[in-house]
């Protein structure tokens, strides 16, 4: 006769997982106390925030032409960095993709490069490139490019690895070269994913490029920093609103493109 | 010329020496993990003939067909095909060899997002590489015309610019045959090309394949007995990893084939599927 007693509701945790659970829980509690976040401080901060908001409005549009000019440069920086990054991400992702990489050594090297580019934040890359190529948009473009290689490289490689193997096998059986196989079967199948990743990269690049100016890598970020440093909160408000408009516009445009192409 | 003069005087030889087989497999074996799918398979196939491979699921028909062009690497044995010792070929030579053999897959394996015409143009990669072979828009005029002729041969010239994934199963398989023709193969292998089609589409497809590939020589797998009997010249039955049946189709009867499939388990295992059905 089979045992008809219902099984236990919960599995009893073993000593190891119980210990890990306790340690993680303790760490989380400790983290909360470490960061000095308290309701009291937040409440005390509200008037300061209020007075800043008060000084922000109405926004000062006197410097609007200069701000728009810088905003355009910011967008151009994002666009160029993103395009360069995507173009370079493609060959690197082919080298990194399982089944497409010509050699295991190349595969591991490409994966390591992508991981490095992805894990180091773009702000850090910007700091490095400001030192290397000097202040200005060129450093920002380089930082965005490297960041996008890391971001898109990984997703391009995954999209190609997931592409249907059938057509690839058919082309291999025809006697196609590896390049022929990639461009005839893999890329067409992975294209929707490529487009989605590219558009998302651009959105991310536009948002990121705003921050890069803070460390001197060109664009509107510099204006924003100066405005805050000089307590010109009304100018800062104009800058923030234009950034907001730009990011929304890019996201909407990329949504339209996504719907059309995919 | 002496020889031609002699040929005119002398009566023709009573019995022309048989042409050498275009495919000769000897003692081929392949094991997946613990399972010996092919144990000791030997067979021959000739140009201008259709050889049907039959056998229950899991008897290694697909594995055998794939091993012939090394989509599966055999463990031992020999494959002589189109005058090449297939197992000894290096990468480049294998590529060149594969370009001479047409392969029709059970699941047509078209690139669904691309047009029918582009899928057919891909067949030219057997003899040319580079962007001009990737897409019909980039292909030279001669290649586009040849691809259209191949599409016309399978009756789908009017669908050239349609996306491949918008076609029915039968149409897709016909496009796959057009791609195979574009390859200009010297010999053709077909792995259950009629498997996923309804009876009528399946019969039409087999008629088409027979018409287009018979002259070159064709080795095909089919689970439909009526197709095996109607469209083949020889039948080879696999069971237990060896060739357990070999006969000319004109001497074969449906009852005999049925009996082959119904033989007691232990000899012709229909156990778990091989990785390739």
Which structural domains are found in chain B, ordered by start? 32-100+221-277 (3.40.50.300), 101-185 (3.40.50.300)
Out of A16-20, A211-215, B5-9, B220-224, which region has the weakest mean confidence (pLDDT)? B5-9
Interchain CB distance below 8 Å, A188 and B113? yes
Q: Which residue has the higher pLDDT, A8 or A75?
A: A75
What pLDDT sits at residue B93? 93
Count CB-CB contacts under 10 A for residue B131. 12
Q: Check which CATH number belongs to the domain holding A252 and give it.
A: 1.10.3720.10
pLDDT of residue B13: 54
Q: How far apart are the first and last CA of chain A?
A: 57
Looking at the complex, does the CB of residue A184 fall below 8 Å from at least one CB of chain B? yes
Residue A49: pLDDT band by 50, 70, 90 thresholds? confident
Q: Would residue A15 count as lying in a domain?
A: no
Is A35 within a domain?
A: no
Tell me what the pLDDT averaged over chain A comes to.
88
How much is the pLDDT for A70?
87
pLDDT for position B264? 59
Provide the shortest C-alpha distance from residue A172 to chain B (in Å). 8
Cis peptide before A58 (omega within 30 of 0): yes
Cα(A6)–Cα(A25) distance, integer angstroms? 31
Tokens of A186: 């893999």
**Bridge partners of B53?**
B221, B236
Segment B131-189, tens digit of pLDDT: 999 999 999 999 999 999 999 999 999 999 999 999 998 899 999 999 999 999 999 99
pLDDT band of residue A109 (cuts 50, 70, 90) is: very high
* Domain around A123: 64-261
Residue A95 lies in a domain: yes
Residue A24 lies in a domain: no
Structural domain includes residue A136: yes
Residue A165 lies in a domain: yes
- DSSP letter, residue B224: -
Per-residue model confidence (pLDDT) at position A12: 81
User: Is A200 part of a structural domain of the chain?
Assistant: yes
Cα of first residue to Cα of last residue in chain B, in angstroms, is 56
Residues with Cβ within 8 Å of A242's Cβ and at least 6 positions away in sequence, in order, are A64, A67, A68, A71, A220
Number of domains in chain A: 1
Nearest to A195 by CA among A147, A256, A252, A258: A258
Please tell me the least confidently modeled range out of A5-9, A26-30, B167-171. A5-9
Distance CA A153, CA A110 (A): 9
Q: Which member of B107, B126, B131 has the closest CB to residue A174?
A: B126
User: Quick one: pLDDT at residue B186?
Assistant: 94
Angle at B112 between CA B110 and CA B118, to 5 degrees: 70
pLDDT of residue B276: 44
d(CA B112, CA B172): 9
Q: CA triplet B78, B82, B85: central angle to 5 degrees?
A: 30
> In terms of pLDDT, which residue wins out, A228 or A194?
A194
Strand-by-strand arrangement of the B234-239 sheet: B84-85, B76-81, B23-32, B35-45, B242-248, B234-239, B50-54, B218-221, B187-191, B101-104
**Closest to B99 (Cβ–Cβ): which among A170, A174, A184?**
A174
| pLDDT value for B9 | 55
Question: Any bridge partners for residue B115, and if so which?
Answer: B163
> In this complex, is the C-beta atom of B112 within 8 Å of any C-beta atom belonging to chain A?
yes
Cβ-contact B209, B220 below 8 angstroms = yes
Whether A111 shows a pLDDT value over 80: the answer reads yes
With respect to residue A40, please indicate whether it lies within any of the assigned structural domains. no
Mean pLDDT of A105-132: 91
d(CA B212, CA B208): 6
For the segment A230-252, what is each residue's pLDDT rounded down to a tens digit? 888 888 888 889 999 999 999 99
Confidence at residue B1, expressed as pLDDT on a 0 to 100 scale: 44
Q: Average pLDDT of A53-68? A: 82
Give the H or E element holding residue B39. strand B35-45
């Amino acid at each position: 006769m089979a045992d008809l007693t219902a099984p236990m509701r919960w599995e009893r945790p073993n000593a190891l997982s119980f210990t890990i659970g306790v340690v993680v829980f303790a760490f989380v509690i400790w983290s909360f106390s470490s960061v000095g976040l308290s309701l009291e401080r937040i409440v005390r901060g509200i008037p300061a925030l209020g007075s800043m908001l008060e000084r922000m409005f109405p926004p000062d549009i006197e410097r609007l032409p200069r701000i728009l000019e810088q905003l355009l440069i910011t967008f151009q920086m994002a666009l160029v960095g993103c395009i360069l990054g995507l173009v370079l991400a493609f060959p690197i992702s082919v080298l990194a993709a399982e089944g497409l990489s010509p050699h295991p050594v190349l595969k591991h090297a490409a994966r390591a490069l992508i991981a490095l580019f992805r894990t180091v934040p773009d702000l850090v890359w910007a700091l490095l490139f400001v030192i290397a190529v000097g202040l200005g948009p060129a450093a920002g473009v380089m930082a965005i490019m490297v960041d996008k290689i890391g971001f898109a490289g990984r997703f391009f490689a995954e999209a190609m690895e997931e592409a249907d193997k059938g057509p690839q096998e058919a082309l291999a059986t025809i006697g196609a070269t590896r390049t022929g196989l990639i461009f005839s079967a893999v890329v067409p199948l992975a294209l929707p994913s490529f487009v989605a990743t590219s558009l998302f990269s651009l959105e991310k690049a536009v948002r990121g490029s705003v921050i890069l100016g803070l460390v001197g890598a060109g664009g509107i970020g510099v204006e924003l920093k100066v405005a805050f440093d000089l307590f010109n909160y009304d100018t800062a408000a104009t800058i923030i609103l234009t950034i907001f408009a730009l990011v929304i516009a890019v996201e909407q445009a990329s949504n339209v493109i996504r719907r059309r192409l995919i | 010329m002496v020889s031609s003069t002699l040929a005119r005087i002398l009566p023709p030889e009573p019995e022309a020496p048989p042409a050498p087989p275009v495919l000769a497999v000897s003692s081929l074996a392949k094991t997946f993990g613990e399972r010996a799918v092919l144990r000791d398979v030997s067979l021959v196939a000739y140009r201008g003939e259709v050889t049907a491979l039959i056998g229950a699921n899991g008897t290694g028909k697909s594995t055998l067909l794939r091993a012939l062009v090394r989509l599966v690497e055999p463990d031992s044995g020999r494959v002589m095909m189109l005058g090449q010792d297939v197992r000894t070929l290096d990468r480049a030579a294998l590529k060149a060899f594969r370009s001479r053999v047409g392969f029709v897959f059970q699941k047509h394996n078209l690139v669904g997002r691309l047009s029918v015409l582009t899928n057919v143009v891909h067949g030219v990669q057997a003899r040319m590489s580079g962007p001009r072979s990737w897409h019909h828009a980039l292909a030279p005029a001669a290649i586009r015309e040849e691809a259209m002729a191949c599409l016309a041969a399978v009756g789908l010239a009017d669908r050239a610019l349609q996306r491949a994934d918008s076609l029915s199963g039968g149409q897709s398989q016909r496009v796959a045959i057009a791609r195979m023709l574009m390859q200009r193969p010297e010999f053709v292998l077909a792995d259950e090309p009629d498997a996923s089609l309804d009876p009528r589409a399946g019969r039409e497809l087999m008629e088409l394949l027979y018409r287009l590939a018979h002259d070159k020589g064709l080795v095909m797998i089919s689970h439909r007995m009526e197709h095996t009997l109607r469209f083949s010249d020889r039948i080879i039955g696999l069971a237990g990893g060896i060739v357990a049946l070999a006969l000319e189709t004109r001497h074969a009867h449906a009852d005999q084939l049925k009996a082959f499939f119904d033989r007691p388990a232990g000899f012709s295992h229909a156990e778990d599927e091989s990785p390739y059905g």
